[in-house]
Amino acid sequence: PLPVWMRRAMLATAVMNLLGALTFTPWGAPIRALARMPEGTHPLYLGVIAIFILSFGGAYLWCGLTGRADPLFVTLAAVGWTGWWFLIAAAKERAIEAWLAARREVGWVAEASVVSVGGFPYRIDTTLTGLELSNPQGGWSWTAPDFRLLTLAYQPNHMIAVWPKEQ
């Protein structure tokens, strides 16, 4: 069993998580503005974060009320993180495919023979193999055997571009 001080800490943390989850709901926009969080974030992203924080709040509440720390935390964290990673990885792959398609619609040559995503659990590494970009109106073209975009799973808007040695 958990000591009394730990149970109280768990209950207090459950309340903080409830308020934290509220921050990422549509009604939490004033709180996000006060905290100077970026504006214009996709609602799905906010919803996933709210559910993740609320889930942990429920686990803290459960542990605080029952007085035991179950494997619930490990399971919840593993399932939540795995879901988050696959959600972000799929969104990144779709965004790249959409960007290539949008370039083709305006007359570019924009092809990648393979778009692959990996890096689980901490990174989302996207590799575009056989990349060919050409803007006939601008008079330029670029090809690369591979081009990589590296992202940390917990910071999906910060990307590192890895350019190939030969282009």
Tell which wins on pLDDT, 15 or 42.
15
Q: What is the mean pLDDT of the chain?
A: 88
In this prediction, residue 87 carries a pLDDT of: 85
Tell which wins on pLDDT, 132 or 25.
132
Please report which confidence band the pLDDT of residue 2 belongs to, taking 50, 70 and 90 as the band edges: confident
Share of the chain above pLDDT 90, in %: 43
Contact criterion met (CB below 8 Å) for 155 and 164: no
- What CA–CA distance (Å, rounded) separates 17 from 81? 17
Please report which confidence band the pLDDT of residue 74 belongs to, taking 50, 70 and 90 as the band edges: low
In this prediction, residue 80 carries a pLDDT of: 78
For 99-145, the pLDDT digits (tens) are 999 999 999 999 999 999 999 988 999 999 999 999 999 999 999 99
Q: Which residues contact 89 (CB under 8 A, 6 or more apart)?
A: 117, 119, 120, 124
Q: What percent of the chain is helix, strand and coil (3-state, nearest 5)? A: 50, 25, 25
Q: What are phi and psi of 4, to 5 degrees?
A: -60, -45
**pTM of the shown model:** 0.61
